[in-house]
Structure 1
């Protein structure tokens, strides 16, 4: 059996990679980019730096900075209109997962039209949108190397999973210098998101030899450096490891899949506006405990790759150490419970059946080593409280 591996055509990795935007545009034959980002990237000067870099090569660019965290159908519409009204031949997606996910949707809708729901999974989007050069500024989502975007339909509070080669950026410029200003909360949430990607890709039913190699490498980079980057954002060695680990984790899950954590996480984010990485972090220990009996050797491999168990430990001991580490990580990185986040208990409990149904409909839980029922997921949601 063979596995199709989809990657960006160009990857530039390391300090200063973002300065290669003009050369990448030239290699693609593009001369009129639209920079899609958010207001924070403008305030920090990152968008302006990209524009200056482009101006130095006589390339004119415009900025669309109205993307929002957890993008919605309405939030991307202004960007779609901007693309349709402009003469842009490419998109530079600058920021965390939300601006990059927004850019993916805008690139497709701006070129091909229709509504976002038309592109929802299980449809596989093979049409090419405007070429995207992704410049990530967080070490978390891995969106720069994935063929996935997630857009919320605010009329139904559904996080729509959209997939296909059409959403894959043409280039990914992975520059850890852009993460040095990240606050500790975002460092924690995006870092656990990346670790979740690596673990889920490795235990997924769709895992393959290629994705395994990327997932294990990602865990080796992420696990020892997440605390370091959280406590000292200026630690360049830790930031570099986190950035590459996040990208490798993105490669892993894009070419395997995510599983139950992500399936259950999306409805929490849609209903209660919990940042995606944070809802993953809330769920990771409980879902891991639930899933362990179905893939004990695989989870033991994760524990060893993360450095919390060694080759002398039995599978049982390694898995016990993994669970303790996931709880300890959440404690040290101050991951809140739903109650501490400010979610109303009664509302959360009332919505649990709906959230479980939405999770199952996403398809991700079916990739889990232990496939849950609706009732199983309700129990896990209840445990979070």
Structure 2
């Protein structure tokens, strides 16, 4: 067995209604002046109300920075850091989707140290200590609440990541009551995003390990068996809680066995065309899995029983793996998600630029079970453009 290191969030609370105890949870970390990092949409739909009620009940003052946007640019992160310092926050609560949680991680660090954002991009470049940090996802997809990664938009089409165990929060709080208002298309796309995390963790070329394997399988069971119900019957809080936990387990898996080519090809779709991250993954997932089939059919075959009981396990690994890929393709269609780049307004003559950008994602491509060339990426994008396998 290869040696490995497994790191994750210190404490995970999975409980419907746990948000009502947020003041008590803050007290366990000695947070007396919490700063909530979120986005305006969360505030507008009233999702922040349970936090407001809980803090007012104990006469606890809190602050809120609600200017996070999707794919947060550097200036947004720095504005949040400046606000945290101005109000002298002694703890940070990230509340929302992956962008809010990623921003909260960086605010917790930079509001408590002299480090500069530009100096901490990359792996293990952080030297300082962060403020106490609680992360509360309101979507079941990114797993950011248990990953040591924060992604920042650095240019018109470029992003950079900060990767360090320092960014793992003290507490991740999973409460499905916060996801009940999610539109069906967001539920579907973020759910597929979480499934991608688990699939890529299980097939990761370099750091795949027994812990991440167990988590990936359990994540896929929870996600695949609840995603249709959560998408089309969004008031089913038990299905929502299962999706939240599945996304969290998938996040733990890929935080330790990193994602690969699906994400490498998805990032340029977000950078160039502002397609949401979960949907970007869904648009290239089937094509990348087919590309990888020659190198990891046994692993896909091992995952099949965790995802569905409709596939016969009597055939060869390749037959089982192909049936699994076909099942996932059908699932994406069943969820009414777009199935081609063309449907998103992307032209064939955009493919070369997308492929060049994807090849820059070297930290992801090294994890792919099959080596990837520029020509390979172009062909995958061509297939995804037409929505063919």
Shorter-chain TM-score range? over 0.9
Query: What SS does the aligned partner of 1:295 have?
Result: helix
How far residue 107 of structure 1 moved from its aligned partner, in angstroms, is: 2.0
Question: 1:246 maps to which residue?
Answer: 247
Distance 1:109 1:7 in 2: 21
Determine if contact 2:90/2:132 at 8 Å carries over to the other structure. yes
Determine if contact 1:258/1:364 at 8 Å carries over to the other structure. yes
Distance 1:268 1:127 in 2: 34
Question: 2:344 maps to which residue?
Answer: 341
How far residue 45 of structure 1 moved from its aligned partner, in angstroms, is: 1.6
Farther-moved stretch of structure 1 (281-290 vs 44-53): 44-53
Distance 1:334 1:203 in 2: 27
Determine if contact 1:145/1:251 at 8 Å carries over to the other structure. yes
Determine if contact 1:133/1:170 at 8 Å carries over to the other structure. yes
After superposition, residues 67-106 of structure 1 pair within 5 angstroms as: 67-106=68-107
CA deviation map 1:225-284 (0-9, x unaligned): 111111111122321211111111011111211111112211221121111101000011
Question: 1:268 maps to which residue?
Answer: 269
Gaps of 5+ in 2: none
1:376 aligns with 2:376: yes
Determine if contact 2:95/2:135 at 8 Å carries over to the other structure. yes
Which of the residues 306, 317, 321 maps onto 1:319? 321
Question: 2:155 maps to which residue?
Answer: 154
Aligned Cα root-mean-square deviation (Å): 1.7
Query: What SS does the aligned partner of 1:253 have?
Result: helix
After superposition, residues 165-314 of structure 1 pair within 5 angstroms as: 165-205=165-205, 206-307=207-308, 308-314=310-316
Distance 1:78 1:141 in 2: 23
CA deviation map 1:197-243 (0-9, x unaligned): 01011110211001111000000111121111111111223212111
Runs of 4+ residues over 6 Å off in structure 1: none
Distance 2:132 2:35 in 1: 11
Change (3 A) 1:125 1:301: farther
Change (3 A) 1:364 1:82: same
Determine if contact 1:158/1:358 at 8 Å carries over to the other structure. no
State TM-score, norm by structure 1. Answer: 0.94
Determine if contact 1:9/1:171 at 8 Å carries over to the other structure. yes
Query: What SS does the aligned partner of 1:46 have?
Result: coil
State TM-score, norm by structure 2. Answer: 0.93
Question: 1:330 maps to which residue?
Answer: 332
